[in-house]
Chain A
């Protein structure tokens, strides 16, 4: 019988929630990495027992953790390496050093800061880990300050894909309220050379040659909070999602506005339709219905909680514009949590399960594609990220 494993990253550790295909009774494992911020955990599509986790701390910096047995035990890649006196220092899994080499074009090393001046790129943390679709040892990292890194050895050595920062618009990028983070990273099963990424507050970008060259894909985005609302870059994209069967159709939750593109991001149109507010962070696509999408509307950029204190998911079965409220089983009053950008996921069971976590520490599951909801857990630390693995 199928089962699911939900990977939850929180403000103070990680949790793994498991259930059978009914998704009614759950086992809770954790906290793992107690006291650390776990920005993201994700399993390899090649081998679901391989899971990568981003463990970070304002005190102790970044760590990459890796499990090869489905989360039962964890290791820092290369953590047992011995340092020999006089030898070259061995690699470290938490070493993210921006590429400034001449061979890769000496990418620009400053971006716009809050004060409007140019500011050096400084590594802060890994926001998102995206395992390769074809190789268990290859994994991509989206980091703050915004850049994309790749490891081909299970997270031990990290190399920047410097073409992104070097393509030309870097000096115009600036941090959003959460920092200048590369938070969304989408791989295309049908085209190994294509990667989509999104940065707050720079926008969306695409490579078609495996990361050598990149271009902004923000035409059609309108952001009233920047000097030129139609600028090439500077848009605060909160999250993007894609269905694997429609790799040129993208859905986006922008700071304000829900958007879609049907030409791989070259052009976007707004599909907010009848949403009660189109501010929000998460967006995701049903596992079996490429035109069924989900968002969690949030009141505003100044008030990061649901309208009227009533937690609701909205679903569109038409790829946007026409939305229906899904609230059965969700708090109907006095709910003032947020749902952060990487905190929604879907499983691929026949009856598609939808999951999301809140800053109030709840993780909700709907085993019936959003029709009804129930909390798996209610009192975790603030949830940063939710991913789900569908296991045979």
Chain B
């Protein structure tokens, strides 16, 4: 919800990516389309995932996978979404 509000979008975002579809290329494309999201998902300098965010796809938690590993074919073809989720944290 918060990232959508920042980016001023209502629902899912469609991205066109040339070449390998990886977490890095997806996030690069997302930030290029919505620059206001820079620093909100990955650290500006280290490009590390922010600690309380998680990356899911095809019912798998990809948060700790290499950012350069190919994403599942279903994501690359647009059948399944790549999800950026605020982790449940708090009391």
Asked whether A92 and B44 contact (CB < 8 A) given A36-B2, A61-B39, A83-B31, the answer is: yes
Asked whether A92 and B39 contact (CB < 8 A) given A36-B2, A59-B52, A76-B6, the answer is: yes
B44 touches A95 (CB 8 A): yes
Chain A: minimal CB distance from B37 (Å): 9
B87 touches A59 (CB 8 A): yes
What A residues does B2 contact at CB under 8 A? 35-36, 57, 59-60
What 0/1 pattern do residues 6 to 43 of B give for CB contact below 8 A with A? 10000000000000000000000001100110111100
B40 touches A63 (CB 8 A): yes
Chain A residue at minimal CB-CB distance from B42: A61
Q: How large is the interface on A (under 10, 10 to 19, 20 to 34, 35 or more residues)?
A: 20 to 34
Q: How large is the interface on B (under 10, 10 to 19, 20 to 34, 35 or more residues)?
A: 20 to 34
A83 touches B44 (CB 8 A): no
A83 touches B39 (CB 8 A): no
CA distance A60 to B39 in the complex (A): 8
CA distance A92 to B31 in the complex (A): 11
Chain B: minimal CB distance from A195 (Å): 26
What B residues does A92 contact at CB under 8 A? 35, 38-39, 44
Q: Which of B1, B3, B36, B86 contacts A76 (CB 8 A)?
A: B36
B35 touches A79 (CB 8 A): yes
What B residues does A61 contact at CB under 8 A? 39-40, 50
CA distance A90 to B38 in the complex (A): 11
What 0/1 pattern do residues 44 to 63 of B give for CB contact below 8 A with A? 11000010110000000000
Tell yes or no: A62 within 8 A of B by CB. yes
CA distance A35 to B2 in the complex (A): 8
What B residues does A97 contact at CB under 8 A? 44-45
Chain B: minimal CB distance from A368 (Å): 40
What A residues does B39 contact at CB under 8 A? 61-62, 92, 94-95
Tell yes or no: A81 within 8 A of B by CB. yes
Q: Which of B1, B35, B87 contacts A83 (CB 8 A)?
A: B35
Among B32, B35, B89, which residue has the most Cβ atoms of chain A within 10 A? B35
CA distance A90 to B39 in the complex (A): 13
CA distance A61 to B42 in the complex (A): 9
Chain A: minimal CB distance from B31 (Å): 7
What 0/1 pattern do residues 79 to 103 of A give for CB contact below 8 A with B? 1011101000110101101000000
Between A and B, 21 residue pairs with Cβ closer than 8 Å are A35-B1, A59-B86, A60-B2, A60-B3, A60-B6, A60-B41, A60-B53, A61-B50, A62-B39, A63-B40, A79-B35, A79-B36, A83-B32, A85-B32, A90-B35, A92-B38, A92-B44, A94-B40, A94-B44, A97-B44, A97-B45
- Assuming A79-B35, A94-B38, what are 5 further A-B pairs, CB within 8 angstroms? A35-B2, A58-B52, A58-B89, A59-B50, A60-B53
Q: Which residues of A contact B (CB under 8 A)?
A: 34-36, 57-63, 76, 78-79, 81-83, 85, 89-90, 92, 94-95, 97
